[in-house]
Structure formats: C-alpha cells, structure tokens
Homo-oligomer: A and B are copies of this chain.
C-alpha cells in the first residue's frame, strides 16, 4: 500500500491554510455533536519516527474541549503491562461514548516494529493481527468510530529530520540509538509496515496513509478525513439500528456438545464426613498448586454463574480459603456503573483480568450480556446475539495469553431455590441476601432456562468449556468445583 503514496504531494499553502482554519472551527463545533450523539471516537496515529505524529496531535487536540478528549501515549509496555494480555492496555484506554481518544502510537507497534525487534515468528504476527482485527471489529460493532492514520516519510527525509533534532542541544535527546537503527534498516521496516497495513485495512476500520513530507499537506488531509469520518458515523447512527442476523459463529470455534439443563438429574449428595475429609485434602492440594502457578506465571480465570441461591458465594469461599490472598482476587459483578455503561460491555472485564501467576474469581460474569441483559432488554437483540461470538473471542484471547479458564454453572431446581429463598427470608442474618429482584427473576425461570441452554450451546468451547455443577447438595457442588479447578490447573502445568 505504501508504494501507491505520492510522497511529493504538496498543496497550495495559502488556500490550504484558509481551509484548515475553517475546518478547525468545524472540529470544535462537531465535538458537541459527538457528545450529544454519544459517538465514541478513536483517532490513531502511527507511522515512521519523526514523521510528525506529535506535532499533528498537538495541533489537532487544540480544537477539542479537553472535557471530551484525551491523548494516550502508547509507549513500550511497562513491567505491569507485560504481565497482562497484549491488548489489555489498549482495551483499558478505549474512550467513553461521546468522547474522543487520540492514540499516539497504538496496538500496531506490536505487529510492526516489534515484529522485527522482538524477532516474532510469522505465526505470532498473524495471531496478533487477528486479535487486532477482532478488537477493532468488536468496537465498531458497538458503534465506535476508529480512524487510523499512518504518517509516511521517506528514508532520506527521516534521516534529515533526525539530523536536525540531533543538532539542537534541546532536542538531541529525542533521537535515540534505536531511531537511528530503524532509519538504517528502513527497507526492512517498510516491508513490515506495508504488510501490517495490508492485513489490517478493513472496511470497518480502514487505514489512511498520509504523505507527511509537507506538514500543511498532511494536516489538510488529516482534518478532512477526521471531519468526513465523523459525519459518516453520524449518518450511520441515523439509520435504523442493526437488524438481528441470528447467531453467527465462525467455524474456527469448536463447540462442545452440552446437555440441556432439564437433562441434569440433580441427585448427587455427599455425607458430612466425606465432605470434610475431601475438602481438607483438596484445599491442601490447591494451595500447593497456587504456589506452582505463581512460579510458572500461569494466570487462572474462574467464572461462576448459576441460579440465585445456588450457592456461588459459599462455593467461592471454599476455593478462596485455599489460596494466598496476595495471589487471587474475587470480583463480584453487580449491575454496571455509569462509567461501565459508557463503554463496550467487555471493557469492565478486561479491566479486571488477573496478572500472570494470579487467580481471578468472578462471581457473575460477562455472561450477563446473554442472560439478564438479553431478558430484561438492556441491549438490542442484535447485540446479545453478537455477544456469543464476542465472548468466545474474548476467552480465546485469554487462552492464547496462557490462562486456564474455568466456567461453572451452579445448578439447582426450582423447589430447592424456593426452600433457600424462604430460609433466607426467615433468618435475620441472611435477610440482606434476598431481594425483591430475586423473586422477580424466579418468575422468569423458563426464560432464563432457555437463555442458559443457549449460552451452554454457543460458548462451550474446547479452550473454555462449561461445567454444570450440581449444587442441590452444596457440599457436593463445592467438592466438584475444587476437583475441576485442580484438574484444569494440573493439566496446564503438565503441558509446561
């Protein structure tokens, strides 16, 4: 793609400056519409070193009210960031609906400069490219506007700019040995950039390559594209919301056969004696494994879902009791906060991922999208239908990062739930555990059962299978969960 760029393009300066001035006024006005129409905008600047990203961003953001615009410098990953999945730090920084995020460098460094400097083999590069495309698609499907600029200059121009910076005492520190190395190996980087651009130029998030030898020429083009893209995004919003397309699941996912909930017998019980003995043994075992996980830096994600009063809390407690508090965290997932509602729905889970070697236990999860949000109409039909695939993609990212993923559906029947609700109602210390909402949800048991069956059908993958845990007898359920966790961890540790 870079070959087709005319680097010598130069516009009429006087005319261009007038036009830029006009567009500056428009940019500052259009931001109010962005806010009012709740359009989230990502403007991403990538390209050669010294191509002018910094000064272009500096000029662009002056047109925006800082209340609605943030610059994110994506430098090399910090030690903390390296302990998370590659896209974690980018997911964390996606803008709220109605806000603009300007990215100075981006996730594309991980498939361009890093490709050469970390000597990534092509499998890794292709996997990263795939992850990036999924990331951008999930955002644009959610209504995000992603504008991608690549600032292009020639090898000679780059060298001249480095030389100029180097010749001034105040700016020489800006030119590093790495910059010089990159300039010397320009041709190699050229190919890496070109392939990156080709592989990630998608209809939903196309690249704009900007010839950047002349600043005014570049600016004129960038402002035009920004305004044009925003206007088009408004127009897309005007069109009726996306129609339901049914549930589409790519063939790349191997879905496991799952039983229907109604097929589960729920007849498992366990004596107090056996429970006490097994619990002690399994907790000791898990505690040892936690040490090993930590040393081998394997992250673990445990997702608990289940009927109200199925015993999630008590089950989690028995698992947590075996763990060192420095190495695990329990994330109770309530209804989303205002800030969380103002982002794509997976954002709040990306923000709660464990560090490598740590365990994250989720008490309710991202599956809320295809259960409560589906049934209560908190999102559109198209949105929850899309979610099965997005969730599989999300979990695949975690798996590829190296995580052990466990997903539990704690199962009881309606009679047992009624018994437990009544017990809570009648025990003063337990009353806070039962709310009106629990009773309302109970009335929707058949709809929830349908939703659970769909969820089990579409999101039980070979890398993140569902486990239905019979919890009619809580003791039995706890022992099952511990056994499954231990088994999954041992399996992974054996692989390493």
Contacts and interface: CB of A to CB of B under 8 A. Distances in A.
A68 to B, nearest CB: 9
Nearest to A25: B429
Interface string A61-75: 110011100110100
B338 A337 contact: yes
Residue in A79, A292, A326 whose Cβ sees the most chain B Cβ within 10 Å: A326
Contact of A292 (B170, B291, B313): B170
Contact of A57 (B61, B325, B334, B429): B325
Interface stretch (A134-142, A228-236, A316-324, A485-493): A316-324
Contacts of A70: 329
Nearest to A290: B170
A393 interface: no
A79 B288 CA distance: 31
A329 B104 CA distance: 14
B65 A313 contact: yes
A167 interface: no
A440 interface: no
B62 A320 contact: yes
Contacts of A292: 170
Interface string A161-179: 0000000001101000000
A227 interface: no
Interface string A50-87: 00001001100110011100110100001110000000
A71 to B, nearest CB: 4
A448 B384 CA distance: 51
Interface in A298-337: 313, 316-317, 320-321, 323-326, 329-332, 334, 337
A332 B291 contact: no
Interface in A350-388: 363
A154 to B, nearest CB: 24
Interface residues of A, number: 45
A170 B291 contact: yes
A417 B312 CA distance: 59
B325 A66 contact: no
Interface in A23-37: 29, 32
- Say what secondary structure dominates the interface of chain A: helix
Contacts of A66: 316, 320, 330-332, 363
Contact of A61 (B58, B291, B325, B363): B325
A170 B295 CA distance: 10
A4 interface: no
Nearest to A173: B295
Contacts of A295: 173
A254 to B, nearest CB: 33
Contact of A324 (B58, B316, B331): B58
A339 interface: yes
A406 to B, nearest CB: 17
B326 A104 contact: yes
Contacts of A65: 313, 332
A62 B324 CA distance: 11
Nearest to A105: B326
A58 to B, nearest CB: 5
A210 B194 CA distance: 64
Contacts of A321: 58, 62
A350 to B, nearest CB: 18
27 contacts: A29-B429, A32-B432, A54-B324, A54-B326, A58-B321, A58-B324, A58-B325, A61-B320, A61-B325, A62-B317, A65-B332, A66-B316, A66-B331, A67-B334, A71-B326, A71-B329, A73-B326, A78-B78, A78-B80, A102-B325, A170-B288, A170-B291, A170-B292, A171-B291, A173-B291, A337-B338, A339-B339
Given A61-B320, A80-B80, A173-B295, 13 more contacts: A29-B429, A57-B325, A62-B317, A65-B313, A65-B332, A67-B334, A70-B329, A71-B325, A71-B329, A73-B325, A104-B326, A170-B288, A337-B339
